[in-house]
Chains A and B, each alone.
Chain A
Amino acid sequence: MAPTDEQLIELCKEEDVSALDELLKRYRNPLMGFIYSVIRDYHQAQDIFQETFIRVYREARRFRTGAVFKTWLYTIAINRCRDAIRKKKRRPIISLDTEWAGSDGEPGQRIMDKVASADPGPREEAGCRELEEIFQRELLGLSDEHRQVVILSRLNRFKYYEIAEILDIPSGTVRSRLHYALEELRKRMRT
């Protein structure tokens, strides 16, 4: 019988990297999907996913025995997403680039060129496009807040109370958002 998430995180407390590997396998697609639905930036979503799991591993000892791992994981991820959104609004780093601009007419471009790992290859770019297409096709017309609850419910199979805990909103709000989203999807299918 496969170990539960909670058993795996207990192993992570003992620095068992294979347990982390298993958790990554389980959550790579659904969690990335969720982060992407919030951030809508493929590269930033990757960063947040990685930061989230690194934190999970390093702070595994903070995980309370008896708690639900999945909710903890998604709460960390959504907090990272919120930080990133706030950061973008509050202090866009790009303005620093403007100050750093050299006289070559292409501010910061050389860093981009130099950092090979940051340069998305054609395959990755195709992946971004495909992802965006799926989101556009499946969730067209839904607002950010409706899209998030749909992803958590459909892709991640969370219950109302779990979504409420992750997003820090009342269960009733989760329920009404999901009902609205489902009604919209139904209307879309009828047209």
Chain B
Amino acid sequence: MKNCDEIKGYMLDQVLGEVLPRDIEVELRDHLSLCPSCRRQFEEYEVAWRSLDGLKDIRFPESISLNVLRQVAAKPRVIRFLGWSSPRWRFLALAAAASLLLTAGIYILLQSGSIVDQADQPTSISSASTFVPGEVSMPDLKITMDSYLNETGNILYGIREGSYSSWGSILSEIISRDIQGRSNFLLESVDLPPHSRPVIGVLHDAFQQILRSGRGHEKDEVRLPPGINPEALLAEIEKARCEVMIVQ
């Protein structure tokens, strides 16, 4: 027969909903029937555990689920991108995503720096894909700054707020959007504020970090394909960076 101290652990296990071995369960029941002190304690544990019932009343808005459904309905699976057998396709998509991420950062810069310097800054963005024409079918979109922001608002907000868990997840998101052909663009005809340079550097470093690790930061999600030469990809990113710098 177990003493009160020994029985306490089983008492807690049972309150917590664990299934006890049959013999222990019988022993616990017998003990509680004979020991008023333990019985009282057991009841207190039950009351304490039930006091958390309020947690079950927590309700979150349905919009959270709807956002998920909207996104999966709008986008093809990432796995289709990852599953392409040709490394060249993946190389191209990664390179395009790199330039898109650079552009997203630059756009934030433009927004934050344009109040004083560029009150008359043009608000249209012309599409200019880094994909090789004919190899990847992408719609050539003409979108306004506002519509782009509406489209990518969550990404920009997420980057700003540090909501994304990694550069890989930002990259993954942008790749997904790019596969849709929605954010296939580069900025044109806008002057970059001088303080854009450090940020371009930061973004560039982030990609280097991804490349150095030999795969995307997110395991199995944004992976550098085995057949891809990291130097070549870096060069592509550099090229995208140069395109941006030329605009400046």
Chain A contacts to B: CB under 8 angstroms: 15, 17, 20-21, 24-25, 28-29, 32-33, 43-44, 46-51, 53-55, 57-59, 61-62, 80, 83-84, 87-88, 92-94, 96-97, 99-104, 107-108, 110-112, 114-118, 124, 127, 131, 134, 137-139, 150-151, 153-155, 157, 159-160, 175, 178-179, 182-183, 185-186, 188-190
> Chain B residue with minimal CB distance to A118?
B157
Q: Is the interface of A mostly helix, strand, loop or mixed?
A: helix
Contact A102 B115, beta carbon cutoff 8 Å: yes
Whether A185 contacts B49 in the complex (CB less than 8 A), given A83-B165, A100-B109, A134-B58, comes out as: yes
Q: Is the interface of B mostly helix, strand, loop or mixed?
A: helix
Contact B109 A117, beta carbon cutoff 8 Å: no
Contact B47 A189, beta carbon cutoff 8 Å: yes
CB < 8 Å neighbour of A29 from B60, B111, B156, B161: B60
Contact B202 A51, beta carbon cutoff 8 Å: no
Q: How many A-B residue pairs have CB under 8 A?
A: 201
The smallest C-beta distance from A172 to any residue of chain B, in angstroms, reads 11
CB < 8 Å neighbour of A115 from B60, B113, B115, B157: B157
The smallest C-beta distance from A171 to any residue of chain B, in angstroms, reads 10
Determine the chain B residues whose CB is within 8 A of the CB of A55 once the complex forms.
221
Q: In the complex, A61→B82 CA distance in Å?
A: 13
Q: In the complex, A110→B220 CA distance in Å?
A: 35
Contact A155 B166, beta carbon cutoff 8 Å: no
Determine the chain A residues whose CB is within 8 A of the CB of B57 once the complex forms.
134
Determine the chain B residues whose CB is within 8 A of the CB of A88 once the complex forms.
162
Whether A111 contacts B157 in the complex (CB less than 8 A), given A24-B68, A182-B48, comes out as: yes
